[in-house]
Chain A
Amino acid sequence: MASERPLLIPSPRVLNTQDLFTVPVLLDLFKSNSGRPVSFSGMETKNPAENSSSVEGTLNSSSSRRSILSSHSKASGGGGNSIREVTFADMGSKPVRHGSRGADSEGLSTSQKEISDEDARLIYINDPVKTNEKFEFAGNSVRTSKYSFITFLPKNIFEQFHRVAYIYFLVIAVLNQLPQLAVFGRGVSVLPLAFVLSVTAIKNAYEDYRRHRSDRIENNRVASVLVNNQFQPKKWKEIRVGEIIKIHASETLPCDMVLLSTSDPTGVAYVQTVNLDGESNLKTRYAKQETLFKMPEKENVTGLIKCEKPNRNIYGFHANMEVDGKRLSLGPSNIILRGCELKNTEWGIGVAVYAGRETKAMLNNSGAPSKRSQLETHMNFEIILLSLFLIALCTVVSACALAWLLRHKKELNNLPYYRKWDYSRNKDYNYYNVGWEIFFTFLMSVIVFQIMIPISLYISMELVRLGQAYFMIRDTEMYDEASNSRFQCRSLNINEDLGQIKYVFSDKTGTLTENKMEFQRVSIWGVDYSGAKSQIEPVGYSVQVEGKVIKPKMNVKTDPELLQLSERRNDTKEGRHVYDFFLALAACNTIVPLVTDTSDPTVKMIDYQGESPDEQALVFNVLGLHEFDSDRKRMSVILGCPDKSVKVFVKGADTSMFGVIDKSLNMNIRRATESHLHDYSSLGLRTLVVGMRQLSASEFEQKSLEDAIVMSKKLMTVNGVTDNTGGSSEASPTPVALIIDGTSLVYILDSELEEKLFQLASKCSVVLCCRVAPLQKAGIVALVKNRTADMTLAIGDGANDVSMIQMADVGVGISGQEGRQAVMASDFAMGQFRFLVPLLLVHGHWNYQRMGYMILYNFYRNAVMVFILFWFVLFTAFTLTTAINEWSSMLYSIIYTSLPTIVVGILDKDLSRRTLLKYPQLYGAGQRHECYNAKLFWLTMVDTIWQSVAIFFIPLLAYWGSSIDISSLGDLWILAVVILVNLHLAIDVIRWTWTTHAVIWGSIIATFICVTVIDALPFLIGYWAIFHVAKTATFWLCLLASVIVGLIPRFVVKYLYQYYSPCDVQIAREAEKFGNLREVGDVQIEMNAILGPQRR
């Protein structure tokens, strides 16, 4: 997948084009090798609670402030060799940017792949007419809606019939239209199909209406476009490829365009791609130097851009441009994409190359991958069983009918209730031969017993999942204030899987730690500045510059001692060291300070943005910068100080830094530092070593051209940065943990060692995998997924987690700092890792319990009806007459019994949130398939048969040999069965809220009303039957007896099971009800940290 979907934005400072083409693969591996231990832990799910609780603790202690320092690790800069070539002569002059130089240089551009004419699209700059005359490029109006007014009906119906379930409905309805098979009336037989089609259609229409509305808003936005040598406002939808467009700061780009010039004399433009890939940092894009100074208003800019066909790769672009007879090649750094926002740049001018649906943003706008829940997979197996039941029932009926026909063969002509012979025409009426009759009987019985396959279940399940998703999204406990993001249900098919997770695979960095780091303690020249002194409340520290107060956006803890020391830099040696240290921190990074206005005009806010250096902000001249990379594991910057001295600052991981330390350095300082380092890391802090050396001019010239600046360090400091890791490994009381790194995994995955690793890993409570590539992550997930039937969940926030998220049964994305890639690939997305606890333990548990019960109940509900119909068929000479009115039997699963199961499926709660969090072990119910399994299925089916027998035979025996007519008895049966199935549900409902009461009793009342209304229609055979039969005592006695007798076995078994062999959930429910939540000693897991304010 790596080659299909590049995951990170390559740095614009890519030197050679070779890199350009290898970027995808390289970058996939990049992040995990970047020295940030990307851990990847599999643990048994009794642990997520433990993990997250400890994570929680650290998270709570650290506020949402984000340290500047964290950004070093955000260096998403590409490639290895991005050192800046700066000659010493440049010193003091304006630094040169090297954005597109590499691609510019002649030697390299010739090596660039030619775009063949068939694969190219030609864009004549500022000549949209010519551009669009040959090829029909898409206009810029976008259409995410699927239907128009006219196409809605045919298209929607066509799409709906892609589902097998609907085709089943259709086939049944069509079969019923054949005169020989017409069991139900024409109108009635299409009712169920029409119902589900219209429900779905209404839902689709509403969604499409919303898309139409957003499309209209989007298409009517305005951009300024060059028309007749003047920039004029033009609606987005009218923009055409080839037109020149001017974008101002903070405006959103209407289409993909190649930059021609910007307000910056060097041709830089900063764009924010948050809408595209979610990365909130700024990215640099460059205009070509050849077009930089052209003024489209004054001179007529012409040229030809030859670029590749539209594709969905947002990190790649491949084109060349001919301007003034010169041929320039264009790369991804020269194109700005629709949906991005221009920032920190006054204006930018570009030429539209892709518009509308051909823009990369639109091409990427695809839905989440669909997964099927495990419960549904099991359910489909049971549905096959039910189909076998159905076939068996139909076969029994056909066989009996055959026997009956053969026995009465001679009488058929004159049998008063058969009368095969038509005396007026002297031929058989509606009779072919025994074989055909049996065949028809079989098909007719399929029509009559059709609801044995609970098609309505699929629709109910979708509605229930929709409802469950609604409540998950609305859960205030899963709303993240910091990112202002709600929980997102991107996939609606696997809500219930959340209740059955056995293995959790978590990305560590960013996911567990949120990528938020705080400066905690420091050791400078062997002096430890930490401890109680710095434990002061964070205050907003501000600086006055040119009469303006500038303060950082986020408040930082300040240590007055350090502050004092650094201010007295020239007085003491110690102060000098401290000053240098902070200078190193300030310089040795790639951070953009964004100065924003606040309500108070004298106070400015600084927001630090990672990536995209802006050296203008520094007093010092940056002479060279060597970005962080994974091989060197350090970053260096060379500064020219105002006093003409040149200093090199280096910052990096301890392992790489100690190697380059000046050996002549005082051993005491070195040892002290090392011990501090050790202390810090034992505290769970992430450490960073910073070094500095003063350079002579000649030295600088000589060394800086080399890739590796190896030099001795005079100054050595150690940073401790809180890393909110604590989580998976140390904090949990685990007896065994396995730690494995990516290099080892290379040899293990895809070999016979896999099995051994799996066995070893399953013996451990925690498995930590460090430094693994994205595909290895997926490999680990697959390792577990393929070897067990248990459910896996992968959670991650970065692009490198995409493959693992897609591989796992349930993928959860964190909508954090690292972009939307993980979210886009995920099934569920949330703001913080800690939401995993309520998601799994609470919502997952509920969803699983609800869905499991709902499926069983729907099986039962439909089967009990089918059996009642079946029993009656046995008393009608096997001819598939239905005593129950055809309207009632169709409305049975639509009106009479559908709503309660849906509402209960959405709202019922077996346990309160509080209890579920208190006893995380209760989650095991889902892992053990307690709510839906084969045993329960068969028990339910036995119960179903008993209930149908009770409902059918009590009235049958009571009315045997009486003058009851078919419609009256049918009314009795339908009322009895509706009351029975609703009471059955009522017995199983755990929490009775007013909604539950309303739907259950409401359904029974609605059934009475419907039956009455149907019997008040004079053209139906059962006219007024209910009014006659309801006057008799026998009717009510039968109703009461059949319902009670039907329910007794279930009630008894349920009671005995719950009382004498209680499951954990049952005990917890009792404890909840009787206030018996006694503490039970150390077995219980401390989860209180996550418990919000009192919730039930």
Chain B
Amino acid sequence: MSSRGAASSSGGPQLGTSDSSKRISKKPKYSRFTQQELPACKPILTPGWVIATFVAVGIVFIPIGLASLFASQRVVEIVHRYDQECVPPIFSSDQLAYIQSSITNKTCTKNFTVPKRMKGPVYVYYQLDNFYQNHRRYVKSRSDTQLRSKAGELDISNCKPEATTGNNSPIVPCGLIAWSLFNDTYGFSMKNKVLNVSKKNIAWKSDQEHKFGSDVYPKNFQSGGLIGGAKLNASIPLSEQEDLIVWMRTAALPTFRKLYGKIETDLEANDEITVVIQNNYNTYSFGGRKRLVLSTTSWIGGKNDFLGIAYLTVGGFCMFLAIGFILLYVIKPRPLGDPAFLSWNRNPSGIMN
């Protein structure tokens, strides 16, 4: 892309141009396009437009902020951190030993009260803190080919170090993500009656249908030197293993929730709920925290005041700016397009810098 292009088309001793070719006029054809005169709109930031814009932003943002804040406030959320409490006091100095031991009792019972009426479905989440599901080594450690079809079973190159068992047979599903599948379980009961938690339809339909094969069954899973998490029922195809599918939609941020299940019934205010937690998952080795979350939902999603506050702030700020600009305009207006303001007119000598 040197200047050759231009040179060849315009300059250079053009050999053999005969007289006849010279007489053809090279006058460029007039068109509004080539003369750069296409009809155009030329917006200018006049005070009117700018103030109107900010007022408009304020008018749009403040109601949205109010609405989303209101929606967020209506969401009832019960968050319960249990990773510390569920370790018996004798192990508090060595939590790791507790969690890694196969003989310790991992069961842990907690009670809590529903603060407000929770309309079903009530979503049950587990929340992990300080768990980097977005770590480079971790996100890459999976084989989508293998998950999708039986034929791809041996496509395990990305899965190391959790690709094969000691005797080189492939692990299905392979990779660190599957290996570290969350394996705490929750059993809910209210007034000694078991609260049913539905584990169906917690994963994306699209994943179940296209990413996880119905002919792929777990194989050699969690049989290696280190157990990372949950075991899978080898007789259920991956497309039905919804906990795995949810887990394998890796979280974007180091603090994340994953859907555990849904309680389809409404929970009334002051209901006493008992949860029996099987505290199996090892977050103690890296200081991760575990929480159990029960939450209703709204159009805004879960409980999150941030967006509402942000919208109110921005809307308010824009209104403030609009008022400020109005005041500025009233105090110090400038006639638009007055040639008297041109630098050479302001400076009678006509000398520019």
Contacts and interface: CB of A to CB of B under 8 A. Distances in A.
Query: Are A and B bound to each other?
Result: yes
A991 B317 CA distance: 30
Contacts of A1033: 68, 299-301
A962 B8 contact: no
A441 to B, nearest CB: 9
A964 interface: yes
B5 A466 contact: yes
A361 B15 CA distance: 8
B90 interface: no
A498 to B, nearest CB: 15
Contacts of A1083: 344-345, 348, 350
Contacts of B272: none
A367 B4 contact: yes
A924 B36 contact: no
Contact of B136 (A876, A993, A995, A1078): A876
A1034 B72 CA distance: 11
A640 to B, nearest CB: 37
A928 interface: yes
A960 B28 contact: no
A1095 B37 contact: yes
Contacts of A963: 125, 251, 256-259
Interface in B318-340: 318, 321, 325, 328, 332, 334, 336-340
Interface in B222-236: 224-226, 228-229
Contacts of A46: 352
Contacts of B68: 1033, 1037
Nearest to B311: A1041
A211 B12 CA distance: 12
Contacts of A1062: 334, 341
Contacts of B1: 200, 203-204, 459, 462
A927 to B, nearest CB: 8
Contacts of B317: 1048
Contacts of B50: 1051, 1055
Interface stretch (B41-49, B104-112, B114-122, B191-199): B41-49
Interface string B205-235: 0110011000000000000111011000000
Contacts of B334: 1059-1060, 1062
Interface string B144-182: 110010000000000011111110100000001001100
B11 A490 contact: yes
Indicate the member of A411, A418, A968 with the most B CB atoms within 10 Å: A418
Interface residues of B, number: 127
Interface in B43-95: 43-45, 47, 50, 53, 57, 61, 64, 68
Contacts of A475: 28, 34-35
Contacts of A416: 131, 138, 176, 179-180, 228-229, 282, 286
A968 B250 CA distance: 10
B16 A339 contact: yes
A1054 B45 contact: yes
A1044 B343 contact: no
A993 B340 CA distance: 30
Contacts of B176: 416-417, 419
A250 B343 contact: no
Interface stretch (A238-246, A479-487, A611-619, A669-677): A479-487
A1072 B26 contact: no
A489 B135 contact: no
Contact of A424 (B144, B164, B285, B338): B164
Interface in A1057-1074: 1058-1060, 1062-1064, 1067-1074
B187 interface: no
B252 A968 contact: yes
Given A423-B224, A924-B353, A957-B306, A1027 B135 contact: no
B141 to A, nearest CB: 8
B185 to A, nearest CB: 18
A474 B132 CA distance: 59
B103 interface: no
A368 interface: yes
B307 A958 contact: yes
Contacts of B64: 1037
A880 B139 CA distance: 11
A74 interface: no
Nearest to B127: A961
Interface string A422-438: 11110001100000000
A1064 B345 CA distance: 10
A41 interface: no
Given A474-B28, A876-B136, A881-B139, A1073 B337 contact: yes
B252 A1019 contact: no
Interface string B246-257: 000111111111
A226 interface: no
Contacts of A415: 285-286
Contacts of A1095: 35, 37
A446 interface: no
Contact of A1076 (B136, B145, B314, B336): B336
B2 A370 contact: yes
A1069 B16 CA distance: 48
Interface in B5-35: 5-19, 22-23, 25-28, 30, 34-35
Contacts of B250: 965-966, 1021
B345 A1080 contact: yes
Given A252-B18, A907-B36, A1074-B337, A417 B253 contact: no
B102 to A, nearest CB: 16
Contacts of B300: 1033-1034, 1037
A74 to B, nearest CB: 21
A425 B176 CA distance: 15
B251 A966 contact: yes
A946 interface: no
A542 B38 CA distance: 48
A876 B135 contact: yes
B132 A876 contact: yes
A144 B6 CA distance: 14
Given A339-B16, A416-B131, A1052-B321, A207 B34 contact: no
B289 to A, nearest CB: 11
Interface string A466-504: 100111011110010100111011111100000000000
Contacts of B338: 1067, 1071, 1076
24 contacts: A367-B4, A411-B286, A417-B137, A417-B138, A418-B135, A484-B26, A485-B26, A488-B11, A881-B136, A921-B344, A991-B41, A991-B42, A993-B39, A1037-B68, A1038-B307, A1041-B307, A1041-B311, A1045-B310, A1055-B45, A1059-B45, A1064-B342, A1067-B337, A1068-B337, A1080-B339
Interface of A: 46, 142, 144, 200, 203-204, 207, 210-211, 218, 221, 250, 252, 275-277, 338-339, 361, 364-365, 367-368, 370, 408, 411, 414-425, 429-430, 459, 462, 466, 469-471, 473-476, 479, 481, 484-486, 488-493, 820, 823-824, 829, 875-877, 879-881, 883, 907, 909, 913, 919, 921, 924, 928, 954, 956-966, 968-970, 990-996, 1018-1021, 1023-1024, 1027-1028, 1032-1034, 1037-1038, 1041, 1044-1045, 1048, 1051-1052, 1054-1055, 1058-1060, 1062-1064, 1067-1074, 1076-1078, 1080, 1083, 1095-1096
Interface of B: 1-19, 22-23, 25-28, 30, 34-45, 47, 50, 53, 57, 61, 64, 68, 125, 127, 131-139, 141-142, 144-145, 148, 160-166, 168, 176, 179-180, 204, 206-207, 210-211, 224-226, 228-229, 249-259, 282, 285-286, 299-302, 304, 306-307, 310-311, 314, 317-318, 321, 325, 328, 332, 334, 336-345, 348, 350, 352-353
Given A361-B13, A364-B13, A474-B35, 18 more contacts: A339-B15, A367-B12, A417-B133, A424-B163, A425-B161, A492-B2, A963-B259, A992-B40, A1027-B206, A1034-B300, A1041-B307, A1041-B310, A1041-B311, A1045-B310, A1055-B325, A1058-B45, A1071-B338, A1080-B340
